[in-house]
């Protein structure tokens, strides 16, 4: 997979994620239906993995699945802080939801990192 194809894959994931989020917000699925939020966080983690893998290639860094997964987790934590700052998450009531969101971020990130490891081999 070339860098351009990886950017295209990121755009595709973001378009699908954007559609899911807009639909979910307009129908109260995003915060009201657990599997819907989990799907959005999975796709967010997948996008993050594609982005961080692309970044490693663009900066000519050695690719590391562990780096991509950790970076995805950190981005997920930043997103949860953002949700808290806009009042979408309330602690301690939403602690379980936040943990589930971070788990789905990491699962999506791990899946993306492993896919990229095999689709974008080292030269």
Model pTM?
A: 0.90
- Cβ-based neighbours of 5, under 8 Å, separated by 6 or more: none
CB 1 within 8 A of CB 116: yes
Encode pLDDT of 61-89 as tens digits. 888 899 999 999 999 999 999 989 998 88
Instruction: Tell the residue number behind the tokens 């692309």, with chain if given.
Output: 54
- pLDDT of the residue at 32: 79
3-state class (DSSP) for residue 21: helix
- pLDDT of the residue at 4: 86
- pLDDT of the residue at 120: 72
- pLDDT of the residue at 90: 81
- Cβ-based neighbours of 3, under 8 Å, separated by 6 or more: 54, 57, 58
- pLDDT of the residue at 122: 61
Encode pLDDT of 20-52 as tens digits. 999 999 998 887 788 999 999 999 999 999 999
For 21-47, b/e burial (b = at least 16 CB within 10 A) is beebeeeebbeeeeebbbbbbbbbbbb
């Amino acid at each position: 997979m070339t860098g351009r194809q990886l950017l295209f894959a990121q755009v595709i994931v973001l378009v699908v994620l954007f559609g899911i989020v807009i639909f979910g917000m307009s129908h109260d699925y995003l915060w009201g239906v657990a599997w819907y939020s989990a799907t959005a966080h999975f796709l967010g983690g997948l996008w993050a993995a594609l982005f961080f893998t692309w970044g490693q290639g663009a900066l000519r860094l050695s690719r590391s699945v562990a780096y991509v997964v950790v970076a995805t987790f950190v981005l997920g934590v930043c997103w949860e802080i953002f949700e808290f700052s806009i009042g979408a998450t309330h602690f301690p009531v939403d602690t379980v939801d936040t943990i589930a969101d971070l788990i789905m971020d990491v699962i999506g990130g791990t899946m993306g990192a492993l896919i990229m490891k095999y689709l974008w081999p080292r030269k």
